[in-house]
Chain A
């Protein structure tokens, strides 16, 4: 295994079927890796936004227990809406865990692509991370 960066039009990336022999194939592979890096940056922002949404959908019962309200009438009513809110929160939270798994896997894939020590692929990853960061982070509106 080469342990230094090389410029080459031949590479094997991640899977047995992903073999690159030609400049066209390399260009396509660089594009795919670039999009993977963009997706990785986007997912990081997406997860933060999902977390925000999860906190908005927090089941109201847990916060009511800790902040005692002067009138106890409001706690008894609305058991059915509270259940649907709880389910919505759970789905939000489960979705967040799935997004986390995808983020971990994509992160490792990008790392393994860089490990091929192909300079074109590496540049694709760097450019993709830059583009992804540039596009995604402004969407993180800080409240």
Chain B
């Protein structure tokens, strides 16, 4: 049974390469909330490099998307929470789709020499998708969406804003709780015969 197999789609979402930033950084407004300035070298830190709690002048991903009031922060919290939840759901949905579409199982049997001069039949099982099939194309599109959302979540966490980071973590946990529920039940049923 392969329910103990490492789920690479689920486990590797943090192992992404840091995007190398060739373009100049867009001008960031210095958040006026309580977090310390860097060193005494006279140069202001443009981006916060330590965690802080605040809702004044918080830039979020896109230019023009600035949080200034507690109400806006609450709205951003909910949006980030839902985004993280959606990300977890998307991961689970892709796994389910992959499992359902892996119908082409090829068995290759090869004779191999065994002990005492006997001949044993070794059977290799290959499971895969065809490249030009609709399930694979759908998986590719969903993969792109998953990659983009995972980078967005990383950038949101990179704002070092405590509220938004908590929203990411809580959304991920809630999404995992709600969507893995189905997976935990389905996996056992389908692999009951192993």
Contact = CB atoms under 8 A, between A and B. Distances in A.
Interface string A46-71: 00100110110010001100110000
B107 interface: no
A48 B6 contact: yes
A79 B34 CA distance: 57
A29 interface: no
Interface residues of A, number: 39
A108 B185 contact: no
Contact of B11 (A12, A14, A44, A58): A44
A100 to B, nearest CB: 4
Contacts of B158: 112, 115
A115 B169 contact: no
B189 interface: yes
Contacts of B170: 101
Nearest to A52: B4
A107 B21 contact: no
Contacts of A116: 49
A143 interface: yes
Interface in A65-110: 66-67, 93-94, 96-98, 100-101, 104-105, 107-108, 110
B145 interface: no
A34 to B, nearest CB: 17
B18 A115 contact: yes
B46 A108 contact: no
Contact of A1 (B11, B49, B154, B157): B49
B168 interface: yes
Interface in B1-33: 1, 3-7, 11, 14, 18, 21, 25
A137 B184 CA distance: 22
Given A108-B157, A112-B157, A140-B6, A55 B188 contact: yes
Interface string A107-136: 110111011100000000000000000000
B47 interface: yes
Given A1-B47, A116-B49, A62 B185 contact: yes
Interface stretch (B97-105, B111-119, B171-179): B171-179
Nearest to B38: A12
Contact of B168 (A15, A104, A114, A142): A104
Nearest to A41: B11
B19 to A, nearest CB: 11
A126 to B, nearest CB: 12
B172 A100 contact: yes
A62 B192 CA distance: 12
Contacts of B49: 1, 12, 116
Contacts of B173: 97-98, 100-101, 104
In order of increasing CB-CB distance, the 5 nearest A-B pairs are A101-B173, A107-B14, A97-B177, A100-B176, A104-B172
14 contacts: A1-B47, A16-B51, A51-B3, A52-B3, A55-B187, A58-B188, A62-B185, A93-B177, A101-B169, A101-B170, A104-B173, A112-B157, A116-B49, A142-B5
